[in-house]
Structure 1
Amino acid sequence: MLTTTGITYIADQQRKFTIPQENVTFQTLTGLLSIEEEKYRRCPNLDMVIGQLDFDFYYELLPTIARWASDHTHLSNPIMPLHAGTTARVTYAAAQVRYILANAFFLNTTKGYGSIDLTILYNSLFDNMAMERIRCLIEYFRRSSQENGNDDYREISIERYSYAGEQPDWEKQMIAIKASKVNVFTKRMEDAKEAQGFVDFANRQIHIHLIFPSATQEEILCE
């Protein structure tokens, strides 16, 4: 019988992030980051991304991220992993995901099933890929802030489907695939309106288990 242990990913589960009402600078932000080694406190990529934003991040968005990260009521619903080799589904509320990512922004996370530590992204010597990933996270926060709580209960479901039968030897398959059955979609996968879901053909031999400056794209099938 499989047993499931939940994980919160939150390091300090009582931490409250307080943003002053004035004179907020990048030094104010780095003072809130959970960084043990001083060499990682500069966070040049994060500083550069914030400086390139077309809005006042420190007054318009940072207080909201701090409020999300401080709302530890979500700890009552830990992340439940999907067991390898089994077909199962796990569902989260959008507010819970936002809470975890807000704590990741402040580096207030611990290892669980993998790591969501952003220290490498923040400090990868002005790495363009790292900055793009940081920019995407900030844009996620910005759009979430515009929902005004209307998106809190939206469900996000992740399903693992495991094929229990014997895998075919694909190299020996001689059945032709008709070109008319293949549709190459070059836009964002979220824009595929006819798709009912996305299938991620993950390579189980590749277990990075951390976030670093990479744009690795696994095979995604919209169905």
Structure 2
Amino acid sequence: MSDDTRKTMKATFKVGFWHVVGRAPALCTTPAATASSGFQVHRRAVTYCLEEAGRAPDLEIMGMCSKSGTSTAVGDRRQLGPQAYSSQLDKLFLRNTRHLRWFQNAALLELCQRLHDAEGIRENPGALNNVTKHRAKSTSLRIRGIRSTIVVLNIEDVAPTRDATGSCYCVETSLTTMHDLINRLRHVSGDDIMIVTPYNARVRLLGAM
């Protein structure tokens, strides 16, 4: 393959890739991907999910989430290394709380309780800084005219799973995420609905239920 052909293929793939990403109503990816210069999902998607969200400090998560209309951050407080985004002491899910979450949606809270058979999961309004929260939400509303909803799910006693790429995730949190995404997409207008997610097996499982 010549250099010109390789460059043409690369440019064509890039255009096609962003065309697909730009039309996807929901994207589920990792902080490592969203932080890369070539894949800034939070600027292109209305809904996005962050697995292993606990790797980022509060302010970083707020900054990313404030750019979207609806965002879901999913993480496990035990976050495995490497610690790419902040020190252990700054971890959102490494604080001295048994369950750290910030629910603004009562229906989603109930869904999480049922999926995990954990009626003890409750709202924790102090989990995130309220001043930062309101500042980010009001700024997003003034700039974009979109009211942001941020949901942080955290389940303490779940077994981490490592996929083929070496990324760690939790099956329970991915299931909760996909349930929530599919329920959200029921209210999205239009016939062409696409989910871009590393949880393809989970999507097939939910589709068969």
Give the TM interval when normalised to the shorter protein: under 0.3
TM-score w.r.t. the length of structure 2 is 0.22
- Between structure 1 and structure 2, the one with the greater Rg is 1
TM-score w.r.t. the length of structure 1 is 0.21
